[in-house]
Structure 1
Amino acid sequence: MLVAAAVCPCPPLLVPDVAQGAAPELDDARVGCTDAIAVLAASRPDLLVVVGPDPQAAEPARYPAGTPGDFRGFGVDLDVRLGAAEPDTGAAVPEGRTLPASLAVGAWLLARDDWGDAPVEGLAVPERLAPERCAGAGRELAGRAPRVALLVMGDGSACRTVKAPGYLDERAAGFDEEAFRALGAADASALAALDADLAHELKAAGRAPWQVLAGAAEGAGLEGRLLYEDAPYGVGYGVAVWA
């Protein structure tokens, strides 16, 4: 059963070594992420699953504890591992397999905040995974252990300004407003109803992971709180907790 969730943005710029001179622009987001992960730790889960988008994936993919990741693709010689320093003996990491960027950012957040001792796994979902499949994946995660927590990585629209990665789209602000309202209110029904085609047009990479969360939260009776919301690079970033 899902007992807690933290929702965090997943740009590699969240990692100061990647952001370098632009690092202060996301300081408030980092503080929000620290507070959100503290909620996960306080929930004392039996299992923590980091969920994030993978634009290269065709199907959802699981990553066991110990899976390595890095930020060399962003010009930084920085390595991370998912959860435990070494993979569990029962879930060995296939040689050469590495975390997608969103899960690498999640792994970095967990390592930075020394979040706890529960087993950690990863689930990468295709950015265009159908809403009903997202919900099904979430329900399956919620049933993995008596007490499950999720760290859900994902960004809002990337079309908030003319300098945004997707340029300016007048629909972007409204999409983000509804998405972050739902995240802050733990409104699983509203998250499940987000338009997948519109999210794709607005380059909202968080849509699929958020709908995985919506599926996992069915019947859990969680309450939400929005800790941070902004669009410093023309991309909607939000931090929320459900507990």
Structure 2
Amino acid sequence: MSNNILFRFSGSPHDVHEFQWQPTHSNEFITDTMRNARGCQNHSRFFNDMDFYMRLKNRENTVKVELSGVRCRCSRYLFGICSRYTVKLLDGSLHYEWAPSHFFEQGYYSYHGGERQELTLELREGEYISGINIRQGEILDGLALVTNQRTVQFGGSGGSFASMSPPEPTQRIIAFAGTARGVMGRIGFFAEKISWEILGPLIMLRWLHEQNRATRSIPDTDCTQSQFAVWNLLNSSDDIFRRILCFLKP
């Protein structure tokens, strides 16, 4: 993979690791990072789904792999997660691939969290996960998946709140990692750059207008803040437009 991968982990939420993925070395680095993070020394299991994601991407005839769903098992705590990917092939066909499930149910927290349930976030067309919010104590009490369209909450409200998002606005989460301490102890994520997917339509719209092949409608009072921001961007001067793109582009 040519793009760098970013890794963030709730055991050290302010640290951002950026690297090119190399299966053996990177897996060891991620496991060591999680094992040595504050509060994780007694955690019994460690996982990450990047190897699974990369194997899907490197399969013959694969055009695109996208995280399209996340299943969470939870009560007042998180018992674990399982990710689903949509794989697009050269012939245009699509199929789903589920990553290995990471559900943990042992010890005190597994018996004292109330009724457990499994809930799945189904990502819509054009929707992607851009960050996570967590409720963190000794274990992972709650998890909110933040997409470019909404926020979906799983688990409880105990522990301390922390927001973890990729540091650049042109990135999306592609895989998760984590630890177990009877139930889910900590969570991390991997993110990749998607600059052209976000900026490409804006550049194309501006070019089409300059070629008199598209018109810009004036937003009405019911438009969203994002729609109004896009309208302002498309109507800005060339100099301002270039400056904004330079800021957004990794």
Structure with more helix by fraction: 1
TM-score, scaled to structure 1: 0.30
Structure with more strand by fraction: 2
TM-score, scaled to structure 2: 0.30
Question: Which structure would you say has the larger Rg?
Answer: 2
